[in-house]
Structure 1
Amino acid sequence: MAARFPEGNQVQLRPRKGHDMTWSCDKHGEPIAFYCKKHGLPVCDRCAIKEHCQKPCELDDIEDVIFERRKKLDEKRPKIQELQKEMKAVDLKIKTALAFSDTNLQTINNNIQASYHNKIKSVKEKEDRMIRVINEEADEEIRLVNEKREKRIKDCNNEKEKEQKLIKDKETKLLSDAKTISEIVSKKIKDLTIKSQHVINTIKNIESTITRINQHDETLVNEAPQVLASIDENLSLNVHQDVSDCLDRIESEVERVKFVEGQVGGKYYDRIDGYIGKWELVKSIHIPSVVNEPFVCGLVSEDEICVLDDNNAMYVTNINTQHTEKVIDVGVWITSCVPIDSNVIVCGKLRWDCTCDRLDGFITLYDRQWKVIRDINIPRNGVGFLFHMVYVDRDGMIIAAQSYQSNIYVINPADGKIVNTITMQGKKVWGEIQALSSGDIVVKTGYDKYTVISRSGEEKAVIHCDEWGSSWCRVDKLTDTLYIAYRDRTRSTYAVDQVSRDGIIQARRIMEYVQSKRSPITGPCLVTPSGNLVGCDGDKFHLYKKTFIL
């Protein structure tokens, strides 16, 4: 390889053609003299002799090679200069293009940023609008919820105030009733006190007169006959016994007074009751002429009486509004109606014959629109004329019986299944059945006889009166008082007796009315949950209310 001589060891070379360069061989240190075309290497003389003297090596004088190559390079200079000029133009164009590109791309960037800024702004505005709409909708929903809440709270408060007013009014009435009874008792005792004090004062006057006339013989002789007559007269009145007996009656009657309360037909009732009192007619309600031969089936609320006509159509009369409405078209004869709760009514029915093993359609549950909920079946006993009486006890169970049979069934109205069968020993059901608050059952077991039995069928009391022919019995559910309506043939009237649960007749003929020719059978005297009585003479319903008397 060719290289420069090391400094200090340079060899003086002869001048070369066209240049003054000093150049020596790296291997031999001798000046470069030739150029081997084959190997493309500059060589010295020794290299030429030893290594490049044979073909294919071809040696040229190094100066010629240098000269030739310099010449060729010089020949390229104009083209290079032209190319440099062109490249300067290209470089300028590049810079111009770069500037243009930068400007254009920056514009594009700016446009992109502006566009996406607008898009982002649009999305944000859209989201803001959506959020605003959501907030507005939420605010509206909250407003509606608050409005609904406020309305419900207001309704609740109104209902509370209404209920509180009803309770307060009821309390006021009960306190007023109690005050009235207290005033009656106080007045009666005051009258007895005045009567007793009058006797005491009379006795004192007699004693004073006796003392006075005893002081002088003449006065004694003259006034003694009159004084003795006065003493005999006052002693014969027996006022002290009368006052004592009256006080005993007051204590006995006041002892009967009680505050009674309980559920009847799914509603709560309370009142002051328990005393004998006196029944007074409050009003009479005409039965529309469309109801021919009315038969009273029962009371299904405080004001609603069910009546059957001769075509077995059912009507309901409201004794408060005095409005009558047909609720069931011609059908099976309904014998009794009792509310189970505020939504359901149970009815017992009559049929002339039945050949199946079970009595289908004899007991039916209705809703308050008198649509059938379902029928309840019980076992069939006996043949021929069959009717059913139903009642609802303190637990909401249906008490049902078939006429002229000994079995009484306790039925769950929820599923219509019999939960208990009560069998009377030696007696049969003649008519209606009623339940007492104790759970005992009052059953009509004869023409003029009623029997109180336990849930096990044990006889606990027999209630009887010879005058109770063609009678009906109803029980006040809050007091267990029995009201027995019967026909008095001697007077051609219907009368009602008040009887205790033990069979003691407390009052006779508390109600009495003449039966009209419009109906051969008027039905029972009904007891409203508030303790009023409703009788029927065939033309009108008569509403009676009890008042306390002494």
Structure 2
Amino acid sequence: MASRFPEGNLVQLKPRKGHDMTWSCDKHGEPIAFYCKEHGLPVCDRCAIKNHCQKPCELDDIEDVIFERRRKLDEKRPKIQELQKQIKALDSKIKTASASGDTHLQIIKNSIQGAYNDKMKSVEEKGNRMVRMINEEADEEIRLANEKREKRIKDCNTEREKERKNIKDKETKLLSDTKTISEIVSKKIKDLSNKNQHLINTITNVQSTISRINQHEESLVNEAPQVLASIDENISIHKDVSDCLDRIQSEVERVTFVEWEVGGEYYGKIDGYIGQWESFRSINIPSFVKYPLVRGLIGDDEICVQDGYNKDMYVTNISADQHAEKVMDGGRSTWIMSCSSVDRNIIVCGKGRKDYTGGRLDTHITLYDRQWKMIRDISIPRNGSDSSVYADVDRDGMILAAQYDQSNIYIINPAYDTINNTITMQGKKVRGEVQALSSGDVVVKTGDNEFTVISRSGEEKAFIHCHEWVVSECCVDKQTDTLYIVHWDGARTYAVDQMSRDGIIQAKKIMEYPRSDRSHWLSPCLITSSGNLVGCDGDTLFLHKKAFVL
């Protein structure tokens, strides 16, 4: 390999072609003489002889090579100079392009950042709007929830105050009834006490008179008959006072406080005594109700009256003295047979239908809410052609239902519309309303002037019948099991008899009222939970309350 000779050890070579040769071989230290074109190496003589003397090596004189290559380089100098200028111009252009590119890309970058800053701002604003909307919706929901809560609390408090007032009013009435009885008893006892004191004074005088007349024969003869008569009279008065006192004690002992609860509603009344029924109010039935028929009592003060002509249903609030308000349009093919309350929210009606052909009575027992909107129908088996159904509710809230002219009475759970029990009468059929007693027994109209009390097993407990009842209807006081029989006595007068559940007559004709020309059918009397008795002559509802009488 060729290298420069070390300084101070130069070998003087013979100049050739005007060039000084100072280049020597690294291996042999001899001057470079040739250039091997095959290997691209400068070599000395020894290298040429030893390693590059045969093909494919081709040797050129080194000076020729140097001269030729210098010539070529010299020829390139103008191009190099031009290239330098171009490079400098390109460098300037690069710098300009770089600056321009940087400026342009910065603009792009700024545009990107601006665009995405706008998008980010839009996202932030959208997010903030969503958060505000969520907060506003949540605040509104909270406000509505608070309003709903406040309303429910207010309604609860209002209902509580209403129930408190209702209970207080009932308590006040019962205490007033008790006070009235107490005052009647006290007045009667005071009268008896005065009579007895008068007797004591009279007997004392009689004893003095006897002592005096015994001393004189003339006085004895003349006054003894009057004295004897006075003694007999006072003995009679004493017996009357004693009997009256026993009757007072007996009547007072019969007074009872009856309380019960139905459908969450509490009731109570003073009862047990026969007393005397006194009229205290009458409510006219409007003339647009052409043929009024009383169909039942819902609650303590609302009486259902149906127009027998067009089958429209009306309700009259007897405590508010309101006239009939229509609650349901009738129809020529469907009518109400009976109405009763399941609880404070639900009413059950037994119905009749003309030309009904179904295999079951699917639309003959209907539940309504207090606005008389239909809730649903309850189905019972059908037997026979007449599809009229009577319905009532016992103290446990179970529905009693029976088809006219059949022997079966169904006990239905209104919560599930299921028949829990079937009562089958032996040898008798339903000819009118079925009504529950507090004992669980059932009173069934089984003829125009007869009623039968049966147990839940179908056993006959009592048969209630009277030849004086030409046509009759029965109303049951479910709290005392007292029966009130309204009947047409053959003239144009309706009367009400009071019976025990065993069929014993407790009082005859406790109410009487003439039959109206509007009346084509006999309407039953009704007993309210507060103990008032309501009769209907076809024109007017007559309200009676029972007074304690000694």
2:58, 2:418 → 1: CA distance?
A: 134
1:192 aligns to 2:195 (yes or no): no
Hey, what does 1:396 align to over in structure 2? 398
Displacement after TM superposition at 1:24 (Å): 2.9
Percent identity (aligned): 56
Hey, what does 1:122 align to over in structure 2? 122
Q: 1:175 to 1:224 in 2, by over 3 A?
A: farther
1:338 aligns to 2:342 (yes or no): no
AA of the residue aligned to 2:462: A
Name whichever of 187-196 and 371-380 sits farther off: 371-380
- Please state whether the residue corresponding to 1:495 is helix, strand or coil: strand
Across the aligned residues of Structure 1 and Structure 2, the Cα RMSD in angstroms comes to 4.6
1:307, 1:506 → 2: CA distance?
A: 31
Hey, what does 2:279 align to over in structure 1? 281
Q: 1:113 to 1:184 in 2, by over 3 A?
A: same
Superposed counterparts of 1:10-159, under 5 Å: 10=9, 12-14=11-13, 16-17=15-16, 22-37=22-37, 39-49=39-49, 60-74=60-74, 76-159=76-159
- Please state whether the residue corresponding to 2:471 is helix, strand or coil: coil
Displacement after TM superposition at 1:533 (Å): 1.9
Q: 1:122 to 1:452 in 2, by over 3 A?
A: closer
1:331, 1:56 → 2: CA distance?
A: 132
2:348, 2:250 → 1: CA distance?
A: 39
Q: 1:203 to 1:15 in 2, by over 3 A?
A: farther
Hey, what does 1:380 align to over in structure 2? 384
> Deviations along 1:6-46, whole A, 9 cap, x unmatched?
789x4633353555553333443333334445654433333
Displacement after TM superposition at 1:530 (Å): 3.3
- Please state whether the residue corresponding to 2:305 is helix, strand or coil: strand
AA of the residue aligned to 1:255: E
- Please state whether the residue corresponding to 1:452 is helix, strand or coil: strand
Hey, what does 1:542 align to over in structure 2? 542
Superposed counterparts of 1:128-277, under 5 Å: 128-200=128-200, 209=208, 233=230, 236-238=233-235, 239-262=237-260, 269-277=267-275
> Deviations along 1:306-356, whole A, 9 cap, x unmatched?
3554x575664625323375843445787x4232535444346599x99x9
1:369, 1:206 → 2: CA distance?
A: 76
Displacement after TM superposition at 1:476 (Å): 1.3
Hey, what does 2:471 align to over in structure 1? 470
Q: Is the 8 A contact 2:423 2:458 kept in 1?
A: no
Q: Is the 8 A contact 2:400 2:436 kept in 1?
A: no
Hey, what does 1:3 align to over in structure 2? 3
Q: Is the 8 A contact 1:448 1:465 kept in 2?
A: yes
AA of the residue aligned to 2:230: E
AA of the residue aligned to 2:398: G
Superposed counterparts of 1:484-499, under 5 Å: 484-489=485-490, 493-499=493-499
Hey, what does 1:409 align to over in structure 2? 409
AA of the residue aligned to 2:399: M
Q: 1:254 to 1:359 in 2, by over 3 A?
A: farther
1:57, 1:228 → 2: CA distance?
A: 198
Displacement after TM superposition at 1:458 (Å): 2.6
1:466, 1:104 → 2: CA distance?
A: 121
> Deviations along 1:270-318, whole A, 9 cap, x unmatched?
3222221211112233445566665655545633243554x57566462
State the TM-score, normalizing by the size of structure 1.
0.78
Q: Is the 8 A contact 1:312 1:331 kept in 2?
A: no
Q: Is the 8 A contact 1:34 1:43 kept in 2?
A: yes
- Please state whether the residue corresponding to 2:118 is helix, strand or coil: helix
Displacement after TM superposition at 1:219 (Å): 10
Q: 1:492 to 1:223 in 2, by over 3 A?
A: farther
Q: 1:89 to 1:468 in 2, by over 3 A?
A: closer
Q: Is the 8 A contact 2:364 2:377 kept in 1?
A: no
Name whichever of 362-371 and 23-32 sits farther off: 362-371
Q: 1:125 to 1:519 in 2, by over 3 A?
A: closer
Hey, what does 2:502 align to over in structure 1? 502
Q: 1:164 to 1:21 in 2, by over 3 A?
A: farther
AA of the residue aligned to 2:498: Q
- Please state whether the residue corresponding to 1:276 is helix, strand or coil: coil
Q: Is the 8 A contact 1:376 1:416 kept in 2?
A: no
AA of the residue aligned to 1:237: N
State the TM-score, normalizing by the size of structure 2.
0.78
2:97, 2:430 → 1: CA distance?
A: 122
Q: 1:148 to 1:26 in 2, by over 3 A?
A: same
2:116, 2:373 → 1: CA distance?
A: 73
Q: 1:290 to 1:12 in 2, by over 3 A?
A: closer
Q: Is the 8 A contact 2:294 2:304 kept in 1?
A: yes
Q: 1:500 to 1:337 in 2, by over 3 A?
A: same
AA of the residue aligned to 1:339: S
Q: 1:229 to 1:388 in 2, by over 3 A?
A: farther
1:191, 1:411 → 2: CA distance?
A: 53
Q: Is the 8 A contact 1:408 1:423 kept in 2?
A: yes
Q: 1:27 to 1:259 in 2, by over 3 A?
A: same
AA of the residue aligned to 1:304: I
- Please state whether the residue corresponding to 1:328 is helix, strand or coil: coil
1:21, 1:467 → 2: CA distance?
A: 171
How many aligned residue pairs are there?
534
Displacement after TM superposition at 1:171 (Å): 2.7
1:493, 1:460 → 2: CA distance?
A: 31
Q: 1:365 to 1:130 in 2, by over 3 A?
A: closer
Q: 1:362 to 1:14 in 2, by over 3 A?
A: closer
Q: Is the 8 A contact 2:392 2:399 kept in 1?
A: yes
Q: 1:416 to 1:292 in 2, by over 3 A?
A: farther
AA of the residue aligned to 2:130: M
Unaligned runs of 5+ in 1: none
Q: 1:148 to 1:350 in 2, by over 3 A?
A: closer
Hey, what does 1:457 align to over in structure 2? 458
